[in-house]
Structure 1
Amino acid sequence: MFCNIPGVYCKNDELRLIQHLMLKYDRDVRPSYNQSTPVMVSMDMTVHQILELDEKHELLTTSVWQRMRWHDVNLMWEPWRYGGLNKIRLSMERVWSPDITLVNSVLPNTKQSEIQAVVSYDGSVSWNTPRLLKSSCPLNIVYFPWDKQICNLQFASWTHDGSELALFSTDDSADDTDYVENGEWQLLEIPVIREQFYAPCCEAPFSYLNFHITLLRRSGYYVENLIFPSLLITTAGMLVFVLPPESGEKVSLSVTILLATSIYQLIVADHIPVQSKVFPIIGLYLMSTQLLLAGSMVLTVLVLNIHHQGDSGKELPRFLRVLLFRYLGRILFMGDSVKILQRETIRRTPSFYNPEFDRDCLNMAPREPYLKTTQYYSTNKHGTGVRTHHVTIGIGLTDQSAEKELGQLNQFFKKALMSLSTIEEWVKGKRRENICKAEWLLLAKAVDRLLLMIFSTSFVVSTSTILMGHAMFRID
């Protein structure tokens, strides 16, 4: 403000103060009383939002408010000389500022912020500026999607070592009062740790601040859209051993389920770093389920082969029959089926052909007793014709007609017995074929049930060990 009073020219107090301070001020000179005294710079931070954690490229994007304080001995004045003015605001281009840099930033150095610094009469300088930080964040995705990540924001002076600039924080952790929640990540804590490191260029150590941003992944989305469907698909894969071989769909079902798990493997691969040094638990689980399903597909082919062995009439080997009837039937709760098949195996078809009877027929001679019947007709007193029979029993007699008739009868019975014997052999063969086929079918059913028990147990153990166990006892 300027004022026009006769003989007096008034100038604004703030303008006079700034002109006075800037008259001999050089922003390139470190504001210290002597060369050996470091400038004490305090830095604190308010985390506003975690915008993104790119797992694929291991990058963290954060919106923060950065607050820095230091003392500039060249920016001091007595307020009473300037109308009681105890604070002024100067652009950062006009005052010295510490070159505090995000060491692990992936963005190029940006231009100086246009936000002004607040300078107090005692030389204290306060500079608060919003910043969008994009930093590298090596991830440990072993426990994905139940993982906890710690991303460091490392701030240090780019050119001043510890003998010239001492960086520290007034708080033990960053401020998250106004933090906006992220949908995927839960912010747990942001402790601040001051450390020192030695660079090859300088004798004195550099001081830097590490803001450890600790994030916990919200796993609900992945459980609902990745874990649960994968469990259902793997459970459906166990149904391959329940599906009857006669359906003809056992192998195709195995291949379909195996392809489905491969698709979920690609989804997981899309969420983990390309150059990851560790393998995620979910990937290990999917790999184990793929091995189980691939094994089930191979064993399904074996079961189908066993199922169709009986079609060729091949008999079940004795050791397999013993294994099936004595052990597997009891272990797999197939006792009823085994007992029925055992009864069918023991039962024999009655024989129609008796060699003794055939020999007796062939050895019959005319000397054997035979009956000869003679018919006579007479008339009774009523005039009615009556037929009477006269039977003659002969022993050791020879009669050419009787011998001929007996020989014909013998040949007839012999042919009949031979025909019955042929039919009997066919029935026996058919029955043996059916029993043989039934034994192979029962063995295939037993193997299917045994594999169902083995694979179901393996699935439950792998799921509880790999997924549930690591979800409950994940690394801190």
Structure 2
Amino acid sequence: MTNTANSLTTILTIANLMTLCQCQDGNDAKGLRTKLFTTNAYDHRIRPTNDQSAAIDVYIEFYLLAINELSETTETLKTTGFLSVNWKDAFLQWTPSDHGGIDLYHWLQNEVWKPDIALKNSYLDYKSLGVNELNIENFHDGSMNWYPFQVFQTTCSMDITYFPFDRQTCNLQFQAWSYTKDQVNMLSGAKGIELWNFQENSAWSVVNTSWTVDVETYEATISFTLTIERKPLYFILSVILPITMLAILNICVFLLPCESGEKASYAMTVFLAFAVFLTIVSSTLPQNSDSVAIISVFLIVQTVTSTLITFIALGMLRLNSFGEEVKVPRWFASVMRVFKCRTCRRTSVEVAPIECPNEEVKTGFDKKVLHNNDQELVEPEFTWKEVVNFLDVVLFVFFTSVLLLSAVITFTLASSN
């Protein structure tokens, strides 16, 4: 008896729930479509508001999926993403209970009104967003959700002064192209820009996002701003490090003695390696005339330095070939005495005795002095070999200082961004 009562209670409960449930079938959907588009004569060419003098508030959010490319040459940013566009359609409202409980339905984009939003600063042709074959969500209260997915390519004014440690700021400006601000009011959702399932880029990383609404005289434009930072590791390893190594090798030409016969060929080889490498690097550097990268100035300094070192190496070989018949200029000998502390040597003078005129006497410097009737002062002179060795030391220190100073200044300024 108890089991029979329990079974009866279960059957009555299920029957009661079935009376509360409404099954949505094809006829309900057909009836909804007939009511909205036939009975109510919905026209997607009419702004969906009962007060045609009032503006329709359109809320937009931007979902960034990936940064595809940032071209320094054309100054364009290519991204993949989609918009979330929401508004109220006063002509697409219904009571769910009258249509089998349907509270959400989808319509093709070309069947309902939607704001003809276009990318204002597009690098490509101006065209409305979205694809007609895709649907728009329609809730029973008239809320419309549209998600146009697209690859956006926009113009982006770039400043490459701090390349490769630079940050670039690019805007995506959207505007309801055919409507004034009194007809379609462009607003932003709570988030503005959201990195939804964002795919990291190997060359750029997103450091900041923001949005603004610019209301001009006749139109409203919503701007989504992306601040992206370049990842400099590849450029440092493939460009900066090899150039620095070549610059160090270039200075080492002053460590080779002229007698080795390799000084000129070594300097020329390093110079040619510099020229070939810079030709390759020029395609990597941003091609921009509005701003010049600090790293480009560093490369120019190293190229000029390599040219000077090559000329100096050839000149030193010429000096080393001079014989004793060519005297070292006195002013240069004085400079060498100052650097080499030869003042004491200069004051050490040998006096030849006059007992035996025309006698050859060896001095403390192993110099033979031919004496006349009068006493003659003997002052040793520098040879050209000593001059070249002196120049090797001075020029090695000088160009090393130039390399270190230019490198420190360049990378301090570049990384200060």
- TM bucket, shorter chain: 0.7 to 0.9
Mapped to 2, the partners of 1:253 and 1:320 lie a distance apart of 27
Mapped to 2, the partners of 1:81 and 1:448 lie a distance apart of 98
Aligned match of 1:207: 220
Matched, 1:315 2:327: yes
Q: Assess if the C-alpha contact under 8 Å between 2:117 and 2:129 holds in 1.
A: no
SS in 2 for 1:93: helix
Aligned match of 1:149: 168
CA distance 1:106–1:472, change in 2 (3 Å): closer
Alignment of 1:18-29 (within 5 A): 18-23=33-38, 24-29=41-46
Aligned match of 1:219: 232
Mapped to 1, the partners of 2:383 and 2:349 lie a distance apart of 13
Mapped to 1, the partners of 2:184 and 2:321 lie a distance apart of 85
What is the aligned counterpart of 1:164 among 180, 183, 188?
183
SS in 2 for 1:190: strand
SS in 1 for 2:148: strand
How far is the alpha carbon of 1:447 from its aligned partner? 1.6
Gaps of 5+ in 2: 1-24, 362-366, 370-379
Q: Assess if the C-alpha contact under 8 Å between 1:56 and 1:271 holds in 2.
A: no
1:16 is aligned with what amino acid?
G
Give the root-mean-square deviation of aligned CA atoms: 3.0
4+ aligned runs moved over 4 Å, structure 1? 345-351, 353-356
Mapped to 2, the partners of 1:41 and 1:197 lie a distance apart of 16
Alignment of 1:258-297 (within 5 A): 258-297=271-310
TM-score when normalising by structure 1:
0.72
Mapped to 2, the partners of 1:233 and 1:43 lie a distance apart of 53
CA distance 1:177–1:95, change in 2 (3 Å): closer
1:53 is aligned with what amino acid?
L
How far is the alpha carbon of 1:97 from its aligned partner? 0.8
What is the aligned counterpart of 1:244 among 257, 260, 263?
257
The C-alpha deviation readout for 1:130-158, integer Å capped at 9, x for no partner, is: 21112222221111111111111111111
Aligned match of 1:402: none
The C-alpha deviation readout for 1:355-390, integer Å capped at 9, x for no partner, is: 69xxxxxxxxxxxxxxxxxxxxxxxxxxxxxxxxxx
CA distance 1:186–1:14, change in 2 (3 Å): same
Matched, 1:31 2:43: no
Mapped to 2, the partners of 1:159 and 1:118 lie a distance apart of 23
What is the aligned counterpart of 1:13 among 20, 24, 28?
28
Mapped to 2, the partners of 1:257 and 1:237 lie a distance apart of 6
SS in 2 for 1:296: helix
SS in 2 for 1:74: coil
What is the aligned counterpart of 1:69 among 86, 103, 118?
86
SS in 1 for 2:50: coil
Aligned match of 1:472: 415
Mapped to 1, the partners of 2:165 and 2:129 lie a distance apart of 39
SS in 2 for 1:101: strand
Aligned match of 2:22: none
The C-alpha deviation readout for 1:181-215, integer Å capped at 9, x for no partner, is: 111111112211111234xxxxx3x1111111111
Q: Larger Rg: 1 or 2?
A: 1
Of all paired residues, the percent bearing the same amino acid is: 25
The C-alpha deviation readout for 1:209-242, integer Å capped at 9, x for no partner, is: 1111111111111111111111111011111222
Mapped to 1, the partners of 2:291 and 2:268 lie a distance apart of 29
Number of matched pairs: 375
Aligned match of 1:47: 64
Aligned match of 1:453: 397
